[in-house]
Chain A
Amino acid sequence: MLEKTKKFFFTFLVILSVSFIFKEISDYLDRQKILEKIKYSNNTLENFYLVSKADQTYTLTGSKMVVKGDNIFIENPKGHYEGEKGSFDLKSKESTYHTKEKVAKFYKDVIFTGKDIDIKTEYIVIDTQKNIVYNDTDTLIYSQEMTTRGKNLFLDMEKEFLKLDEVNSEYRGKNG
């Protein structure tokens, strides 16, 4: 009889602690309101967080993603890339990804932050198949040693080649 009581008491204890743990987790989720943020209705996903992990890692967050046919519209996109060639961050107010052409457009307060160089502009197009970046507007490129202003940016990421028109550069050097 004693044996049965012991077993019963032990099982009861396990159930109690598991339910306590689950209660803690659900309280935590409530407090963080994580679940409430993620909403999905008529092709719209809010407060999303996408991660793509391979030999290189991409993460993309945004306040809203709307899928319309072959196009994906994103509000407040923040992209982060890490790979052998280093890492960079890219953010803007709005972005569109054309899934057919595999072309991404970022616009309004576009800021690209690389290892030792930053680029600011109002609009850029990234052709993910040709690995090129381009625009037809004013662009500011700056690092600790140099600042360059110009327009009509063209960047070939594979050839590590950049072109800019109507330029003004200032080379300050390390002790600049």
Chain B
Amino acid sequence: QINKTENKKEPVVINADKLEYYNKEKVAVYSGNVDVKKGNFNLKADTVKIYLDEKGDVSRIYAVGNVYFQQENKWGKSKEAEYYKDKNLIILKNNAEVHQGKNVVEGDEIYYYIDEEKAVATSKGSRVRSVLFPKEKEEK
């Protein structure tokens, strides 16, 4: 169990079939089976764009195509996702779902706060859908 402060210090490790780096825009585009890891947080997608700040730090990540993320017993998926390092926040967009055990939250957009492990779902067209199962009482 990696704790939150350790998680923040962890490097961002990325594996992919191809990297294209645009120095003028300071953008690195990873494509093909992209796998991003940061501590206990893992994100997979077809394409991932890494935006670097002037110090060379990762400031924002944009993922598109078969986006899937996992953090310990929670996982989620969507068509697109954006990750903001300063807030340690991932926004799942376009058929977004977040699951924890049997519980599930669905919506057009889901804001998942990694440190607080909290999900906030919003919807424009259809309604937000949540299925939450009460914890089974332990038999006496």
Contacts and interface: CB of A to CB of B under 8 A. Distances in A.
**A and B: bona fide binding partners:** yes
Interface of A: 116, 143-146, 148, 150, 159-176
Contact of B23 (A146, A150, A162): A162
B16 interface: yes
B55 A163 contact: no
B22 A160 contact: yes
Contacts of B55: 145, 173-174
A146 B17 contact: no
A170 to B, nearest CB: 5
Contacts of A167: 14-19, 30
B56 A168 contact: no
A174 B85 CA distance: 14
B20 interface: yes
B64 to A, nearest CB: 18
Contacts of B120: none
Contact of B56 (A163, A164, A173): A173
Q: Is the interface of B mostly helix, strand, loop or mixed?
A: strand
Contacts of A143: 56
Most B CB atoms within 10 A — which of A143, A160, A169?
Answer: A169
Contacts of B28: 169
Interface of B: 9, 11-24, 28, 30, 50, 52, 55-58
A164 B14 CA distance: 13
B24 A146 contact: no
B14 to A, nearest CB: 5
Contact of B19 (A116, A144, A164): A164
Contacts of B12: 169-171
A46 B83 CA distance: 56
B14 A169 contact: yes
Given A143-B56, A146-B56, A174-B57, A168 B15 contact: yes
Nearest to B57: A173
Nearest to B37: A170
Contacts of B57: 145, 171, 173-174
Contact of A163 (B19, B24, B52): B19
Contacts of B9: 175
A148 B23 contact: no
A174 B122 CA distance: 35
